[in-house]
Amino acid sequence: MSGQDIRITGPAGDFSAYLATPASGKGPGIVVLQEIFGVNQVMRDRCDALAEQGFVALCPDLFWRIEPGVDITDKTKEEWDKAFSLMQAFNPETGVEDIAATITHLRGMDACTGKVGAMGYCLGGLLAYLTATRTDSDASVGYYGVSISDRLDEAKNITKPLMLHIAGKDQFVPPEAQSAMHAGLDDHPQVTLYDYPEDDHAFARPEGEHYNEKSAALANQRTRDFLKTHLG
């Protein structure tokens, strides 16, 4: 497995992305969608882990229109303040355009089988949902996505499998928003929701404040099985 930074051409310009390729040199593609901390070590590690599982993983710099190359952690107040300011400045509409360009780029790579999915966390969880509603991703997974309940009218556009992991005690997704997600998505034939009732936001972020190894392992296994099923 090897990791490297590459460039992708999108509708509004070029941006960077971290690419991890499996040792076999070929596999299904996964677009990894960042949290609010940019393409940082957590995201690179996630790509590397996916490559070890046989996927070609590509994590685009979705903050490039605001500030290219954001790479911060969740360890200091200054970094949190910056992360929230970036999230407030971020436009999901143009973000999805960059994701679509990333999917197209990945699908065209020699290392990719042609099947491409997406998975994201936090802000990336919302973007995984929007990737399912607005792009030709073959399968999408969102972990504790924010503000999905505000966009449930788009669920009718989902034509490929989508899995969402919901943290029951998510400080950024209140119970009424979680209830709305279930009401709007439970009956959708392409959507699977999993609840983690005792977990807070970012329970699957290693070394994060709310990391729960047991819940993370369960969610990650469900994700692996889902992606293997739908991407081959």
- Closest by CA to 57, choosing from 181, 174, 171, 227, is 227
Residues 6 or more apart whose Cβ sits within 8 Å of residue 174: none
**Looking at 61, 170, 199, 200, which residue is catalytic?**
170
Largest CA distance in the chain: 45
- For residue 76, count CB atoms less than 10 angstroms from its CB and return exposed for 0-12, middle for 13-18, buried for 19 or more: exposed
91, 58, 151, 163 alpha-carbon torsion, rounded to 10°: -160
The residues with which 142 forms a beta bridge, in sequence order, are: 120, 164
**Is the separation of the CB atoms in 188 and 154 below 8 Å?**
no
Output phi, psi for 66, to 5 deg. -95, -55
Residue 105's alpha-carbon distances to 48, 59, 116, 172, 220, in angstroms, are 19, 12, 10, 32, 25
Residue 151's alpha-carbon distances to 5, 82, 99, 123, 133, in angstroms, are 32, 26, 18, 14, 10
Active-site residue flag, 201: yes
Q: How far apart are CA 48 and CA 54, in angstroms?
A: 10
**Looking at 105, 165, 201, 230, which residue is catalytic?**
201
Q: How far apart are CA 127 and CA 140, in angstroms?
A: 10
Q: Which residues are catalytic?
A: 170, 201
